[in-house]
Amino acid sequence: MTSNETVVRAPSELEGMRRALDIARRGPANGPNPRVGCVLLGPDGEVLGEGWHRGAGTPHAEVAALTDAADRGASTGGGTAVVTLEPCNHTGRTGPCSEALLAAGVARVVVSVSDPNPVAAGGAARLRAAGVEVESGLLADEGRALLGAWLPSVERGRPFVTLKLATSLDGRIAAADGSSRWITSEVSRHHAHDLRAEVDAIVVGTGTALVDDPSLTARNAAGELHGQQPLRVVVGHRDLPSGARLHGPGGELIHVRTHDPAQVLAQLTEREVRHVLVEGGPTLAAAFLAAGLVDEVHAYVAPVLLGSGRPAMADLGVTTIGDAVRLITRSVIPLGPDVLVVATVSQHNDPHSTTEEH
């Protein structure tokens, strides 16, 4: 059932879904599990309990809401569960949410987004089979936006890939002498660190690791490490020196000795990585693009002209304008003197296409 077809029998259900979406954002933006929120409503629309998923290994949103209702002394029998993602129907680190809702006597479940994960899906069917009324699609666009990279990652069976570029206005990432600090402004760099804090892994090639000696950490405005650090992934065959900053404080370091982006993503899929940030260099960026494995581009562009120096992208094999990799601009964000262009890769390489990929 689509969002336009959904029947909402009580205004409180719409309010409940908005609340569920809001509290779901309290959960972590990264990790193998999605952000999910749940609000339990009584027959008169009163809130009986609410909860959200706090990360892998913790109770799911539905169970957290049931616990909250119990703590309030509220009875959930005959009530309605409003949840941003279809209740799961499998036993992983925790038990099936569909069974928990049945045990609580919930009579109706309103869902924003159906679960695309074949391992966890089936909760709606299980609930219906037990006589629970289930409706899906309420505020579906908002629900999909909340799920972020998790949703396309599950749908595609691999991590969602964001390619990050930080360039001069003429597309350079370093001057002719190799210097690159700093092309973009401090405002852009802080924004990029916030992006790092939201992903599961940062990927660079051995060339970038050896030349730039990055730490690949996520830091706040004060320069302190965020509590949650992404995996640091180096791609290529060359060894890193023992004194490299990548061996210092930060996320776990993984060295994937290949030049094949698909192999990199396969290894990260095994680790339940959902969102990958490819930061460089030009050869690795071109390899991911040429393999069709870039979903989104974040291009930080500074009003600086260099005229020569390292380009942001290595040879893509494009010899004519008709073969250019086309992007669909989603937003343009001013960041101090710079701008951030967020774009997705056009599936059909059509300069006039407006089809959005999910």
Question: Which amino acids are annotated catalytic?
Answer: 62
Contact between residue 233 and residue 214 where contact means Cβ atoms under 8 Å apart:
no
Identify which of 254, 297, 290 has the alpha carbon closest to the alpha carbon of residue 273.
254
Rounded to an integer, what distance in angstroms lies between the CA atom of residue 218 and that of residue 7?
Answer: 43
Contact between residue 161 and residue 276 where contact means Cβ atoms under 8 Å apart:
yes
- Residue 327 β-bridge partners: 345
What would the two tokens of residue 169 be?
């206005």
Identify which of 69, 75, 86 has the alpha carbon closest to the alpha carbon of residue 128.
86
Rounded to an integer, what distance in angstroms lies between the CA atom of residue 265 and that of residue 260?
Answer: 9
β-sheet with 133-136: strand ranges across: 47-52, 37-41, 80-85, 108-113, 133-136
Rounded to an integer, what distance in angstroms lies between the CA atom of residue 74 and that of residue 84?
Answer: 22
Measured in whole angstroms, the distance separating CA 68 from the mean position of its chain's CA atoms is 28
Give the CA dihedral 164, 170, 172, 173, nearest 10 degrees: -40
| 341 three-state secondary structure | strand
